[in-house]
Amino acid sequence: MTTSAEDHRAPHLPVAELPREERMVKRSPPRRSPVMADVAEAAGVSHQTVSRVLNGHPHVGVKTRARVLEAIEQLGYRRNMAARALVTRRSRTLGVVGFDTTLHGPASMVYGVEQAARAAGYFVSIVSLKTSAPEETQEALAYLAGQGVDGIMLVAPPRPAILALEGLPRGLPMVVMEGGAAERNSTVSVDQGTGARMITEHLLALGHETVWHIGGPADVPAAESRAAGWRAALAASGREIPEPLVGDWSPRSGYEAGRRLLREPGVTAVFAANDQMALGLLRAVAEAGIRVPAQISVAGFDDLPESEFFSPPLTTVMQDFEAVGRQGIDLLLRLMETGRATVPEHLVIQPRLITRQSTAALAPCPTG
């Protein structure tokens, strides 16, 4: 039986009793993360050429660009964004302050902003606020500024939050989405008033004498604009303008408003300021044994993904949140490149009326 030198090393001794040098496990040094110089060497190009490819510079040959991208993929190179920010003084990050993002409209706008920012090569840092307290808005803006964001987007701020902007110094480029008359700042919004007029005119064209309204919260610019559009359409047609009811965007508030409305004589058409309140209204009407749309027409606003599956499918107004996000990001990037505009821009996107089975001409009254 032959033995090796290692066999005479007391193999059965506990590890703790072995000599220290034999207890040490040899480990290879950690693999260094690839840097731009490694990419340049692998692709056979200069450091400057790699930089041009990473920054989307147009003056790089197709074959050279492909070679650099292949080297990046093979090496697993990742840009050091912190180092890049020190050089360019740009973090490639945009700040977003969203208000009540549990609701469909604000949530969809935040999503649209995030997608548009990513397509433009930017990350997004989001702060969601439940209240409109001015001090919370200012704290959120200060937090994002402290992170070194390149620009800020406010999504659907209520009136108190908009007023809080007036006391802020002119610093970071800022765009307000659905902020009403935020005159000091550039804005992007859907034409809420036109959407409400389209709904109201649609109901009047079906033969209804007037249209009742369940509005949103009083301090929300979108709700104010929808109520103003509804009122303007009735006034232009010389119709009676009923006293509007006010909800909080929830189905329950629409349900409770609906129960109050049904105690009023002669209500045949109702425009709710969002689809969730219209859903609550539909339940109140169903519980009262009233048929939609034969006896009462119901319309909403927003075009939720579920709205076409309501019973009956809901007539509503569609907002293009993808376009709002894209144009908002484009506007913010222009401000970042040129500095804060001396004259703020106000971009308006047109809504679209979606007619479904919840609205119709009144059925003739049966004769005895």
Report the C-alpha gap between 328 and 109 in whole angstroms.
10
Inside any domain, residue 1:
no
Residues 104 and 249 in one domain: no
Report the C-alpha gap between 169 and 157 in whole angstroms.
18
**Domain housing 315:** 192-319
Residues 129 and 166 in one domain: yes
Inside any domain, residue 31:
no
Residue pair 178/190 in contact by the 8 Å Cβ criterion: yes
Residue 30's CB is within 10 A of a number of other CB atoms, namely: 6
Residues 143 and 287 in one domain: no
Residues 238 and 338 in one domain: no
Residue pair 226/190 in contact by the 8 Å Cβ criterion: no
> Among 317, 238, 239, 304, which residue's Cα sits nearest to residue 271?
317
Inside any domain, residue 8:
no
Strand order in the sheet with 151-155: 123-129, 93-99, 151-155, 174-177, 186-190, 346-349
Rg of the chain (C-alpha set): 31
Residues 263 and 339 in one domain: no
Residues 181 and 329 in one domain: yes
What is the pLDDT, as a whole number, of residue 365?
58
Inside any domain, residue 7:
no
Report the C-alpha gap between 60 and 229 in whole angstroms.
53
Residues 226 and 309 in one domain: yes
Residues 142 and 246 in one domain: no
Classify the C-alpha dihedral 302-303-304-307 as positive or negative. Answer: positive
DSSP structure string for 245-284: EE--SSHHHHHHHHHHHTTSTT--EEEESSHHHHHHHHHH
Residues 185 and 330 in one domain: yes
DSSP structure string for 77-105: ----HHHHHHHHS--SEEEEEEESTTSHH
Q: How far is CA 130 from the centre of its chain?
A: 15
Identity of residue 346: H
Q: Chunked in runs of 10, what are the mean pLDDT values of the chain (368 residues)?
A: 44 49 48 78 87 73 88 76 48 89 88 89 90 85 88 89 71 83 79 97 97 94 95 98 96 98 95 98 97 97 96 96 90 82 82 98 64
Inside any domain, residue 22:
no
Residues 309 and 209 in one domain: yes
Report the C-alpha gap between 362 and 367 in whole angstroms.
15
Tell if the pTM clears 0.85, that is, is over it. Answer: no
Q: Are strands 186-190 and 346-349 parallel, antiparallel or unpaired?
A: parallel
Final residue before a domain boundary, out of 44, 79, 114: 79
Report the CATH number at residue 272.
3.40.50.2300
Q: 329: Cβ–Cβ under 8 A, 6 or more apart, which residues?
A: 94, 113, 116, 117, 120, 122, 153
Residues 162 and 149 in one domain: yes
Report the C-alpha gap between 81 and 349 in whole angstroms.
34
DSSP structure string for 193-208: HHHHHHHHHHHHHTT-
Inside any domain, residue 257:
yes
Q: What crossing angle do the helices spanning 104-119 and 321-338 adopt, rounded to 10°?
A: 50
Q: How far is CA 312 from the centre of its chain?
A: 28
Residue 252's CB is within 10 A of a number of other CB atoms, namely: 14
Residues 171 and 197 in one domain: no
Domain count, the chain: 3
Final residue before a domain boundary, out of 27, 55, 79: 79
Report the CATH number at residue 69.
1.10.260.40
Q: Phi and psi of 162, rounded to 5°?
A: -65, -40
Inside any domain, residue 276:
yes
Inside any domain, residue 12:
no
